[in-house]
Structures are given as structure tokens and as C-alpha cells.
Chain A
């Protein structure tokens, strides 16, 4: 009698409490990269609320498991293991920092759990492809290879500059970008006239911009994050040098736009989403809802928010098609999305294939230019 009762209790405990779809979300929600992390998280959260209101995925509610990786590589690895072993998530979205991604995504790959990277531009994605190895890592963000190519194309092919100078920060992100910028220049038989470096938290870049000016540069290609890029723009103003500045998507960070003020005007970057350029009603609703829900106008890092929002819808599309939450089936559906994917960053006919896990191509990237506290498309700036 007692034994049978006990057996019943064990059975009840073993049954899942409620059918739900658990998705891991990680990124830096505190510290220097928090602006990007929080915007991305908010984007994912908005998408989850919309999806749940409309009946969830496969009729089950989406539950987000959110963790702060503090932009620390080892935290990223711990969180990923927690997602996989303890939380048993269906898929993972995030992170922001290159090092965090590269130190954590391989665990998901081993466990056959798909990861859609929605912000980190430098993280390994297609690099995971190897004979006999399945790749569960996807990205919906412009990779650094794509961004640096577009930056160089804009500077050299479109604006016809001849003497580019590079100035990059000394992190993985900045130095990786610097190498890729050089490679893109080499393709055009060019070399930078000078290569400068700065550290996170440097505030006076007089020496760096003077070096570029003395080398006869006619355009600055920069790779770093918001606050230091703002210091660069301000130092250009200090030495009274008017020169075009182009760089990665971090130029669209609020920390650049606000801190550079009028000195930031004209800085340009390849972006997947421009808050000042809303061509369809879905983008408009997204931006307006965000402003109200998070009491923030403009969005601190609109690119990260939009990519975060799209990454969850992309995952939903794949699960709907696979009619399963099995990792391998989701991966196969992502690689072969029959209906394509239409998000707020753009429309993707076929976002991924079995040999290419980069959704963003130059078709969905536009040059955005900073103008008086916001980012506008290049055409609007010229007016």
C-alpha cells in the first residue's frame, strides 16, 4: 500500500510540470557592454511576449531563461553549461562579446542545441564547419568580415579616398576588426598610411589623430566601442581636423552618439537596423512599443534590440516548421526554412543553408550616418 503510493508520487514528480518551451538568453546586462546586452535582451523579451499572446510556439508558452555573463568569458562558459545541463533549454540566443561566444558555443554544439548569435560580430560561426562535425551555431548579425568589407568599400570604392588610416582599440574585437580592415584593403592593393591603437577608457586621442593626420590620411577607419569612439571624434574637433570617420556598427551605440555630440555628425557604419529609417509598419510598431515599454527614446542600441527581436522569431519559424523541439530537427529546419524569414532587420529568402550559417548579407545592410543625436540613412544625411 505505502509502496504503491510512493510510486505514484514519484511518477507525478517525474512528469513535467507544464509543457513549455525554454530558451536561454545570455549577454552582458551589467558593466561596460551593458547597453548592447540590455537592448538585445529587451528585443528578445518583446518578441516572447508577442508570441505568447498569440498562442506560443506549437501551442506551448515560451519561457526565457536570462543570465548576465558580465562580458566575462568564463561566465559565458558556466552559463552555457547551466542552460544545457540544468535548464535543458531548447535553444540559446545571445551573446554580445566575441570572447564570451567563442568560450561557450562549443558546449551547445556538442549537445546538439542550436545557438542563434544575435549581436556578436566577431564570434565563430561558419568556422565550426568541419568534415564529420555538425554545426549548431547560427548568426543573425552582420559579421565583422562583412562589416569591414562594407566599410572599406564605402571609403575606397564609393567615396574614392586613397589614404586610409586605421585606429582600433586593443581588445579582441578591435584588433580582430583591424586585421580584417587591412585584409579588405589588401584586396584593393592598398595599405593603411598609419595604424593607431587605444585602450578602453582612454579619453584623449590627440596623439592617435595627429599621427593619422601627419601620415597624410584622407579618411579614418575605426574599430572600437561607443565611449572611446566618441573620444576619437572629440579629439578630431580639438585638433581642428575635418575628416570622414567610418567604422563598425558600434558607431550606432548611444554611448557614441551622446558623448560625441555634434562631433559625431557624419560618422558612418554598416547597420542592419536604423531607427530613423522605418520603411514598414512592423518596424514602426517595434520602435514605438519599445519606446513606451522601456521608457527609452531613442533605443540605446537599436541594432542589438532589432536583432534580438528577430532572433526569437527566426527560432519560432524553425520550430514551427520542424513541429518539434528536438535540437537536430530545429537545426535542419533553420538550414532549410521553406517560407523564408521576414523580420524587422530585413527579409531573408533563405536565411541559412547547410553550409552557410550567416543570415545577414550585404542585401540587408545599409550605411547609417550619425546626425544630430540619431542615426539616419546615408541618403537622408546628404540632404
Chain B
């Protein structure tokens, strides 16, 4: 029972990592660049969602739609401001610092214009855990057993749905195939009449939109704050390296591995060592299979 509870916690946490990691995967596939500010875009989604849904009492889906819009616009701005200039100047790695810088700007802006505190984001599905296999108490409540937050179930399903939808889109639609073509060979794709600039723009907007939706999804579990995305961004990056940057379903496996290993290590080894197995595996993979568990060929080192 205890282990099952830990697995549930780990899977929920892992799907959160996977969702952000999937954002890295999307831009890497088309432009061979990574958006290192993704963790802070997640924070942006959480904060904007909090302001609209909790402070201004918008209906949940209206707030969510606004958050998606913010994410798309943010992704486009990021590409134009931070990534394109450094690509045009043929500076190979300028975009790394530029995207990191955008992330820092976002976080500081949230601290200055919003708040430096942590806030509770009410889950639209309710904040009490569903309880299974508990022992009924005299006062009608349940004790022990398994506790699962409705929001965790939502996170797992929405994350899987997003990953599946994007993968299907890439494989089954004409535009999706154009995205794949650009990721295979930009110049040939251009010669075939595919507007590669638009495809890259689209991939940035998609990845930041997914991250901002991720922010709203995880907020009821993690609290909303200007720093909520910092650690998530790093962990998700590890997840994407473990799973393989090229593989959509690989990042899901990477995220799940990280989440489950954290919760099991914390319980059965030591709470102080919970991050160790994930990073050990990361280092071993970088040494022996740098393309990740599910990656193809060698990736360009970043």
C-alpha cells in the first residue's frame, strides 16, 4: 500500500517533468535549439492562471484559454528576440544564454510586478484527495489507505493526451509532416517548398503554450510562486536527456523514471538523497549513450 502510494506520487511528479521535457523536445526537433526558459514559461502560465482564475474569478476554461494565448505570444516573442538574432549571426550557442536570460527576466518581472510569496491555486476538481482502501473512522472520515488528488489524475491524462496529440499530428497531417521534414533536413525542406521559418515559429509557440498549460496543471499541487519553474525546468531537462531529446515518448519515460526514482529513494534510502539516482543515471547515460534511452544517432552536443 505504501509503495503504491509512492508510485502514484512519483508518476504524477514524473508526468509534470515529462510535460516540460516535451517542450524541449519540440523545439529541438525543428530548430536544433532548446528553450532554456521553459521552466519560467511554466511559471508564467501558473501566475497568469492564478491572477485570472483565483484573483479575478474568471471561469477556469476562460483562464486556461488566456494562458494558452499568453504562451503562444510568449514563444513567438522569445524566438524573435532571443533565438533568431543569434542564429542569424551564426553564433552557434548564443541562443543558450539568450533563452536563459529571457527566463531570468520573466522570473524577476513576476517578482516585481506580482509577488514574491507562494499562493494556493484551487484545483477545479477539488483539493481533497480521493481515498481508497482506508479504514472508516467513527466520525465517518477515512483513515490510512491511498490518497490520490483529482488534480494528479488530471495531470497524468492531460499530459499523455498532449504528447499523443502532438505525435499523431506530426505523423498524420500534412503540416505535421512538414515539421518532421524541417527537423530532418532544413535546407531540403525549404527546397521542397516548406516555409521552414514558419515551422520553427510554430514549434516555439507550441512548446511555450504547452509549458504554460503545464503551469496551470501543476499549480494546485506545487503552489504558485515566481520561483515555481526554476527547479522544474532543470529536472525536466534531465528527463529529456535521459529519454532522448529526439523522441517524444522517450521524454515521457525519462520523466516517469525521474519522478518514481525520487519518491522511492526518498522513502527507502534517505530523504536527503532523493535526487541522486536520477542524476547518476543522467551522468552514466551521457557517458555511454549520449543520445538518451530512446534517441537516434548522435545528437549535437549542447
Within 8 Å CB of A32, what residues of B?
A: 116, 118, 225, 227
Tell me the complex Cα distance, A74–B41, Å. 30
Q: Is the CB–CB distance between A240 and B142 below 8 Å?
A: yes
> Which residue of the partner chain A has the closest CB to B266?
A207
Q: Does A211 sit within 8 A of B, measured CB to CB?
A: yes
Q: Is the CB–CB distance between A198 and B119 below 8 Å?
A: no
Q: Does A183 sit within 8 A of B, measured CB to CB?
A: no
- Shortest distance between the CB of A30 and any CB in chain B (Å): 5
Q: Given known contacts A207-B271, A227-B225, is B117 in contact with A240 (CB within 8 Å)?
A: no
> Which residue of the partner chain A has the closest CB to B137?
A242
> Which residue of the partner chain B has the closest CB to A28?
B116
Tell me the complex Cα distance, A291–B211, Å. 38
**Which of the residues A31, A211, A240, A259 comes within 8 Å of B271, measured between beta carbons?**
A211
Q: Does A102 sit within 8 A of B, measured CB to CB?
A: no
Q: Does A8 sit within 8 A of B, measured CB to CB?
A: no
Q: Report, as a range, how many residues of chain A touch the other chain.
A: 20 to 34
Q: Does B9 sit within 8 A of A, measured CB to CB?
A: yes
Quick one: which of A225-250 are within 8 Å of B by CB? 226-227, 230-231, 237-242
- Shortest distance between the CB of A171 and any CB in chain B (Å): 13
Q: Given known contacts A207-B266, A240-B134, A240-B145, is B117 in contact with A196 (CB within 8 Å)?
A: no
Q: Is the CB–CB distance between B127 and A227 below 8 Å?
A: no
Quick one: which of B218-239 are within 8 Å of A by CB? 221-223, 225, 227-228, 230-231
Binary interface profile of A, 171-204, with partner B (CB < 8 Å = 1, else 0)?
0000000000000000000000000111001011
Within 8 Å CB of B267, what residues of A?
A: 206-207, 210-211
Q: Does B85 sit within 8 A of A, measured CB to CB?
A: no
Within 8 Å CB of B120, what residues of A?
A: 258-259, 261
Q: Does A154 sit within 8 A of B, measured CB to CB?
A: no
Q: Is the CB–CB distance between B263 and A204 below 8 Å?
A: yes
Quick one: which of A259-303 are within 8 Å of B by CB? 259, 261, 300
Q: Given known contacts A238-B147, A240-B131, is B119 in contact with A258 (CB within 8 Å)?
A: yes
Tell me the complex Cα distance, A198–B266, Å. 9
Quick one: which of B122-152 are within 8 Å of A by CB? 127-129, 131, 134, 142-145, 147, 149
Quick one: which of B24-82 are within 8 Å of A by CB? none
- Shortest distance between the CB of B147 and any CB in chain A (Å): 4
**Which of the residues A198, A207, A241, A254 comes within 8 Å of B6, measured between beta carbons?**
A207
Tell me the complex Cα distance, A30–B221, Å. 24
Q: Is the CB–CB distance between B5 and A227 below 8 Å?
A: no
The interface on chain B, measured as residues whose beta carbon lies within 8 A of the other chain's beta carbons, has a size of 39
Q: Does B183 sit within 8 A of A, measured CB to CB?
A: no
Tell me the complex Cα distance, A258–B128, Å. 15
Q: Does B193 sit within 8 A of A, measured CB to CB?
A: no
Q: Is the CB–CB distance between A242 and B143 below 8 Å?
A: yes
Q: Given known contacts A204-B13, A240-B142, is B111 in contact with A30 (CB within 8 Å)?
A: yes
Q: Is the CB–CB distance between A196 and B271 below 8 Å?
A: yes
Q: Is the CB–CB distance between B144 and A206 below 8 Å?
A: no
Q: Is the CB–CB distance between A259 and B223 below 8 Å?
A: yes
Within 8 Å CB of A214, what residues of B?
A: 2
Most buried by A among B2, B116, B127, B142: B116
Q: Does A327 sit within 8 A of B, measured CB to CB?
A: no
Q: Does A34 sit within 8 A of B, measured CB to CB?
A: yes
- Shortest distance between the CB of A65 and any CB in chain B (Å): 22
Most buried by B among A201, A208, A226: A201
> Which residue of the partner chain B has the closest CB to A30?
B116
Within 8 Å CB of B145, what residues of A?
A: 240
Q: Does A51 sit within 8 A of B, measured CB to CB?
A: no
Within 8 Å CB of B111, what residues of A?
A: 30-31
Q: Does A255 sit within 8 A of B, measured CB to CB?
A: yes
Q: Does A378 sit within 8 A of B, measured CB to CB?
A: no
Q: Does A76 sit within 8 A of B, measured CB to CB?
A: no
Quick one: which of B80-129 are within 8 Å of A by CB? 111, 116-120, 127-129
Q: Given known contacts A207-B274, A240-B131, is B263 in contact with A227 (CB within 8 Å)?
A: no
- Shortest distance between the CB of B131 and any CB in chain A (Å): 6
Quick one: which of A147-166 are within 8 Å of B by CB? none
Within 8 Å CB of A240, what residues of B?
A: 131, 134, 142-145, 147
User: Considering the complex of A and B, which 4 residue pairs feature the smallest CB-CB distances, nearest first?
Assistant: A207-B266, A238-B147, A207-B267, A227-B118
Q: A30-B111, A170-B272, A204-B12 are in contact. List 4 more A-B contacts (CB 8 A).
A: A198-B271, A206-B9, A207-B6, A239-B147
Residues of A within 8 A of B (CB): 30-32, 34-35, 170, 196-198, 201, 203-204, 206-208, 210-211, 214, 226-227, 230-231, 237-242, 254-255, 258-259, 261, 300
Residues of B within 8 A of A (CB): 2, 5-6, 9, 12-13, 111, 116-120, 127-129, 131, 134, 142-145, 147, 149, 221-223, 225, 227-228, 230-231, 263-264, 266-267, 270-272, 274
